[in-house]
Structure 1
Amino acid sequence: MNQHGPDSHNNTKFNLNGNSMKQSKIGRRLSVLLALALASGTFSSCQKSSEHKARPLVPPTEKRKLTMAKNELKLPQTISTLPAPAVVISPQTADQEEISRLIRQYLEKKQLDGRHLAVDVLNFRTQSRYTFNSSCYFTAASTYKLCLATLYYDLIAQSKVALSDTYLLDASMTDEGEAVAGTYKTGDSIPVRELLKHMVISSDNTAAHVLFQHLGGFDQFKTLTCSFLNIQPDQAYLQEGNLINAQILTACARAIYSAAQTTYKQLLEDMTQAQTSRYFNLLPPMQHIMAQKYGSFENAMNSVGFSLDANNPFSLVVLTDLGPAGEQVLAEIAALIYAHYHPDKLQAEQILAQAEVFRNYPVYTAEDQPAVVNADGADN
């Protein structure tokens, strides 16, 4: 609920074979090679570990803090033991080729293992789209709230829900007993307008719990989301906790943009107030540029946002499992994409030149490791 604190949610993750250890010089070279392959090609599928254990569907809390004890950092395993990816080169537009070059050079400069992030860029004017690991699941943290808000504003547009409707705050809906916005307490009736506002701007968990419980629960909310976005239901999304992929969030972004001046005008205005100086807007040149919905919990650090200028309106989704250090990655990728579309305002080469080697990977237990993800390449 705290704007400056982590968003905690149920963390269902997949297994990455082997334990983390310090990279050798050879390992670092191999990391670069893998990053290049990941940025330009496609793995055949996302693989779920046989050790994966399902966890409860409803995310219990966002209150736990990111601590160094919880997120002790060290370098990842040398990647020479990993199977080589099957690379498929897809036809690309000039726009996609340039974004691919930027992401490829960024991963190389950072010496960043591409398995730990997903990127999805959609240009609404040209419909050109670049995807990287877009079909693979990461812990959603509070990014699920954008889907929930989108669904509600659609129901409001259909007159099935009214902003003035009030929902009772039942004790079973509270996040560890917290009031909504520090004001509404158990037993209060809260206007839908207030619930949506606080859920988007301050990532209020209790407000989100009230909203999805009134849809029939967290699992029913996800089923409704698939129907609303016209996407094929996926068991990993529907049944395995608070997971999400960049494809789902981009579909959500597309729906918002399609009615940005009508159905979703208030949602976009609220997104401009959500963490205006962090995540995508962290770097000084980017502050207040992106409207976004952020999410963080333990090793998950995510954001989905918009730049809606008239010439090149686009959406951006970045999901990571890099721990607190992942926020710098979100910020740099956002700046790179913005620079690609606005070279008169920001220089991509300068951002690449200033990017430092990524050294701080989180440590995972055997039951709580990151996804083995794939690079989708670019698509239209």
Structure 2
Amino acid sequence: MICHQITCHLARSGLFDVRYVVINAFETAMPGAAGPEVEDLKALGVHFHEPVKADLTPAAGAGAFNKLKAVAAGHSDRLIVGTGQQDKLLRSLGGEMPDAVLAIWAETAGYMASSLPIPKFNYAGNPDHKVLEARMELEDWLGGRSLLGRARDVMRLKVTRAGHLAAMRRYDLMWNVAANDAADYAAAGVNARYLQNMWPGAVHADWQAGRDASEQTAPLKIVGNVGNISATGNSFGLMTLATQIVPRLKEKLGEGAFEVHLFGGGKPHPSVAPLLNDPHIRVRGFVDDIDAEILSAPVFLVANNSQRFKVGHTRFLHAWSLGACVVGFSDSAEAMPEIRHRENALLGDTPEAVADLVVEAGRDKALRRAVAAGGIEMLTTAFNPARVVGELIRDLDARLTSRKTGVAA
């Protein structure tokens, strides 16, 4: 959806001749559900080229010797799939070098395009090395790594970080959807800045009436997860939920007075799964109508971001679009500074404080509606696709113009 929004606005701006190429190391076919969006873009003049499948063998070559040789020479990026394979992209474009390239939330595409001798731009999310480091930390928490495994992973992390940053430094500009990650990139020499994520969907037209009719308060229904339940950030969040927030809710509300519903695919990490074996926690998996489930829950809890792994979450935007009262950790604002306590969310510094805010929200309908209204206001302004992509286009146009005129943007 985000690729569609950005591409659509680029085409409508009249400033660019837009070419669209799917680049991946695995599946490159467009999902069937994307058909109408593809036709919309074609009607706007967007040209679709043959998808590009990256070779899994890195540019450094196969085998430990070649990889060590690349690292020793300061070319860690050549160990990452996609780097050095820009000729594949050019073949898809008929051998024609584009004037500029924009990678949109696509790691392999970002690496493949990074060596092109043209202006390069990247709209991105979580840094690869940050996710890898968080996975390693999770394994340490759960006792899943040996000493040898830790030593090997430390080297892997160093190489991944060095390679990723080397590739990203070749970009003229990166927009990152998390303010803390943008700052980290900038500190590492990447020309990066924060630009908000976006929510392409409309706000639920009658969210207040829908909530008045369906909210379940006895027992109090709490949405506790939306997304892949095995993802790293969600695993951290589920541990915090099960071991610290739920016990506090039992103290405050009593046994049987609440339900935490977990939605999304995947299976919990084997060491996390036993923690979820509690009658107050319901692992629902995929459901037919996730919006209806969120509408019927007085509280939308985001238990992530309590640990060191702090990232932006699209689920805040999804929740706001449905008039949800979002409760989470104060550190969520490090990634998304627009999240503000008692304006568009209820934020606590500790698991106990977060649990207390869940209780407060569950008992106070007026508070829930006020927080929800603040969320909708933020969603339709700061995270509005037209505003976000408009800013991206202005940056693109200014930098490309400055290249032609020699005047700094």
Q: TM-score, normalised by structure 2?
A: 0.27
Instruction: State the TM-score, normalized to the length of structure 1.
Output: 0.28
